[in-house]
Amino acid sequence: MQINFIYDASVAAAPAAFKAGLADAAAYLDSLITNDITVNIQVGWGENNGAAITPNSLSTGGPKQDGMGMTYAQLKAALTANATSAADQVMLANMPAKDPTNGGNFYITAAQQKAWGLLPANGTEIDGNIGFSSTANWTFDPNNRSAAGTYDFIGDAEAEITHALGRFPGLQFAPGWYSPLDLMRYASPGVNELASGAPAYFSIDGGKTNLNSFDTAGDPSDWATPGGGDAFGNGYTGRTMVMTQTDRTVLDTLGYTIAGATAPAPAPSPAATPNPPSTAVLTAPKEARILSLANVAFGAPPTQAEFDRASAIMASGGSLTQVAMAFMQDPRYLAVYGANKTPASFVHAVFAEAHIPANVSAEIRDIRSIAYGKLSDAGMLVIASQSTAHAAYMSTLSPVASGHTLVIAPHA
């Protein structure tokens, strides 16, 4: 990850070490989160996006209000498509079977959308805002973060940056609106706690294991840590605020790829039958859309496993764009498109794989849409797969070449 800071005019009055302290915090998070994305964060000194930091606050931070809403089923599908660790597997296996919010929306930050392929990875829009008290007694020295009578600025900056990334409480900040972190708040095993101010703890196994208790008096996404010492807890003078393993697990299960996280368990060995039927029941048009999308993403039909995974996403309420996100994690996709691509090279490659005749004006439009953050790579794959030109190409293929020989579910 690459964090870029955009400084408000107020930062001109900050101490000389202020920017260096922010750079230290960003460097740690950049090395911790390995998603190939750029996150742009606006920074204030004594204010946050024009709002003054109150005397009883050290700092504030959060995502910019340009995120998107997802249903519970869509969020579960997105987290499944982006699961990269054993912790992710545990969390997904223990997510409630039914939506605990009864139809609420989950706010997904721009940074999370970038990590999940829903926005261009290197978009230049502002993704979050943070601000720091201009009256607190800070220590900016990376070699002396527990100086007596001072607050550890680097640890506090790490906390605020992660708020901007998506570590924030929803808890109906607007009627019917929640955050993904809310799903990991428990009052007891199997019982989510979705009320602000109520006692709750962080758990990834359905509430069976209490990894830390949330604060009930301050920020509900921070820990209740008497004495300090945790970057995600309350600040205390004379204490270094470090990011713990539990802190890293929070970011992991919010959909980011974390360096050093335990790898997911290997998939079970296949059964004796080489191509077991998919458990997801889809209509014929949806099956056809998956096959078309795979042919654009891979330049070839999907394998049975790829098709079954895509079917499961759509059967649980996910969109074709989320299927594209899942395909983008596949090694076959990287073999076709590569990891380091410009908007221009990506669009040219998509046109080629979709068998869309060269059209300079259309390509320029799509290049600009991706470069300016109006269209994600996943969205481009979907658009191309549903184009008239690609449909015509698919109609010329044999059943084997198009993927129609897969053992797919009966049509609904």
pLDDT digits (tens, 9 = 90+) for 15-27: 999 999 999 999 9
- Token pair of 411, please? 């049509």
Q: What's the DSSP call for residue 316?
A: T
Question: What pLDDT shows up at residue 273?
Answer: 40
Identify which of 52-61, 156-165, 233-242 has the greatest average pLDDT. Answer: 156-165
Residues 6 or more apart whose Cβ sits within 8 Å of residue 341: 349
Q: Are residues 41 and 97 in the same domain?
A: yes
- Name the residue range of residue 192's domain: 2-253
Question: What pLDDT shows up at residue 232?
Answer: 94
* Confidence label for 278 from pLDDT (cuts 50, 70 and 90): very low
Q: Which of 214, 236, 253 is the last residue of a domain?
A: 253
Q: Are residues 75 and 221 in the same domain?
A: yes
Query: Which residue is it, tokens 């758990």?
Result: 203
Q: Are residues 294 and 233 in the same domain?
A: no
For the ranges 65-74, 93-102, 119-128, 390-399, which has the lowest average pLDDT?
65-74
Q: Are residues 289 and 177 in the same domain?
A: no
On whether the CB atoms of residues 10 and 44 are closer than 8 A, the answer is yes
Q: Are residues 27 and 66 in the same domain?
A: yes
Q: Are residues 122 and 218 in the same domain?
A: yes
Q: Are residues 248 and 108 in the same domain?
A: yes
Residues 6 or more apart whose Cβ sits within 8 Å of residue 340: none
Q: Are residues 202 and 54 in the same domain?
A: yes
Whether 263 is covered by a domain: the verdict is no
Q: Are residues 294 and 229 in the same domain?
A: no
Whether 270 is covered by a domain: the verdict is no
Whether 148 is covered by a domain: the verdict is yes
Q: What's the DSSP call for residue 218?
A: S
Whether 174 is covered by a domain: the verdict is yes
Q: How many domains does the chain have?
A: 2
On whether the CB atoms of residues 337 and 349 are closer than 8 A, the answer is yes
* Cα separation of the two ends of the chain: 42
Angle, helix 343-353 to helix 360-371, in steps of 10 degrees:
130
Whether 167 is covered by a domain: the verdict is yes
Q: Which of 233, 253, 273 is the last residue of a domain?
A: 253
Q: Are residues 246 and 315 in the same domain?
A: no
Q: Are residues 173 and 241 in the same domain?
A: yes
Backbone angles phi, psi at 96, to 5 degrees: -55, 140
pLDDT digits (tens, 9 = 90+) for 196-247: 889 999 999 999 999 999 998 888 999 987 767 899 998 889 999 999 999 9
Q: Are residues 91 and 185 in the same domain?
A: yes
Which of 138, 111, 162, 165 has the alpha carbon at shortest distance from 46?
Answer: 138
pLDDT digits (tens, 9 = 90+) for 326-385: 788 778 888 888 765 788 888 888 899 989 887 777 777 877 777 666 677 888 889 989
Whether 378 is covered by a domain: the verdict is yes
Whether 185 is covered by a domain: the verdict is yes
Whether 407 is covered by a domain: the verdict is no
What's the pTM?
0.70
